[in-house]
Each structure stands twice: as C-alpha cells, then as structure tokens.
Amino acid sequence: MKFCSDCGTPVDLRIPAGDSLPRHVCPACGSIHYQNPKLVVGALAEWEGRVLLCRRAIEPRHGYWTLPAGFMENQESTADAAARETLEEACARIEVGEMFTLYDIPHISQVHIVYRARLLDLDFRPGEESLEVGLFDEADIPWEQLAFRSIEFTLRRYYEDRRQGSYRFHTGRISPPLGL
Ligand SMILES: [Zn+2]
C-alpha cells in the first residue's frame, strides 16, 4: 500500500503504539490499514462416487485441475462461498455439506477451506474461469496435473476416508519453498 485509502495521503510503515507488527499508518488522518490473510473456499462435490473437477482457464496454474474454489467475498459465509465458486467455475448447483479440510499456507497468507458437497444435477459446464469441467472416478484423477497442494491434500484425505467408511475433518499446512 502506498496511499491511504481514506484520504489519499502517502502512508508510513511503522509499528503503532500497543501493536507488535509494522502497519501502513496514515500520518494525516491516523487510519491504520491492516492486512490480514485471505480465505480461499471450495467444494468437493460428489455425484454417484465421482468428483467434480475444473481445469483452470486463469493464472496461477492455467491448464491445471482443481476443485472449484476461490477467494471469499465480504458479507458471505464460507459455505455460501463454496456454493458460489462452484456455480461460477462449473455452472453447477450443489448442496454444501460438512467442512472437510482446512489448509494453512502461512508464507502467502492464505487459508484454504474445502467443504464436501452433493452435486444436485448433471447440468454443469465450464464457467468463465474454467477450460473444462468433469466428473472423475478415483482412478481417473489427474494427480500429476492438480493445481494446488491443498487440492491434492483434500482429494487424498477424501479417498482415504471413503475407504474407511467415514469422513473426518482434516487440517494441513505447507511451508516454503514448496509454493502453493
Ligand atoms: Zn488517511
């Protein structure tokens, strides 16, 4: 951040009184502009044992496969975000179920959350941000072409749990230099 979003004055980077980290502080109006982690929320949507995947039409990881997921918007719940992203990326309607994975990526200040979900019908197609969309059996998952480690983590836990006969909530994290 270079300028105060409240008044347009160039901001300083300094530790406010009583705080412990440097913040962008406006010397004119006194606003403190905090920067906090971003939530990425997605859905693992099932249809008769198959899973809905999207091939990305956008960077990062253009051309790689992912679960429908994206940045949460203000004024929505995480479950709403999962349903909205699935509608945007796969034009698919889902019933959102339990939260399944929470994956910390501290070095890029992101948290990825994936819900299990039920696809409501087969009326889906690629949205603006997808090249193609499809339902995959476990044997057909493109493991080598998955876009993000959080997605691989989620799919691995899903098939492990499915074999065990019950789904649990899983947390994971990644550290540099492994990237996303
Ligand atoms: Zn200001």
Could you tell me the distance, in angstroms and rounded to a whole number, from the CA of residue 19 to the centre of ligand 1? 19
Question: Measured over all CA atoms, what is the biggest interatomic distance in the chain, rounded to whole angstroms?
Answer: 60
Report residue 177: phi and psi, to 5°.
Answer: -95, 30
Q: What is the mean pLDDT of the chain?
A: 96
Q: State the distance from the centre of ligand 1 to the C-alpha of 23, rounded, in angstroms.
A: 13
Phi, psi values for residue 109, rounded to 5°: 55, 50
Q: What's the pTM value of the predicted model, to 2 decimals?
A: 0.91
Rounded to the nearest angstrom, the distance between the alpha carbon of 140 and the centre of ligand 1 is 54
| pLDDT above 90 for 176 | no
**pLDDT exceeding 90 applies to what percent of the chain?**
96
More confident call, 102 vs 178: 102
Mean pLDDT (whole number) for 82-89: 98
List domains and CATH numbers for the chain.
1-35 (2.20.70.10), 38-173 (3.90.79.10)
Q: What pLDDT score was predicted for residue 179?
A: 60
Question: Tens digit of pLDDT for each residue in 28-77?
Answer: 999 999 999 999 999 999 999 999 999 999 999 999 999 999 999 999 99
CB 52 within 8 A of CB 123: no
- Predicted pLDDT at 76: 98
- How far is CA 116 from each of CA 21, 62, 86, 163, rounded to the nearest angstrom? 36, 24, 12, 16
DSSP 171: E
- Strand pairing report for 50-56 and 130-136: antiparallel
What does the alpha-carbon distance between residue 46 and residue 135 come to, in Å, rounded to a whole number?
A: 8
Q: Which whole number is the average pLDDT over 156-180? A: 90
Ramachandran region of residue 149, left (φ > 0), alpha (ψ -120 to 50) or beta? Answer: alpha
Predicted local distance difference test score (pLDDT) of residue 175: 76
* pLDDT of the residue at 40: 98
Q: Cα(6) to centroid of ligand 1, in Å?
A: 5
Query: In the predicted model, is pLDDT for residue 180 greater than 70?
Result: no
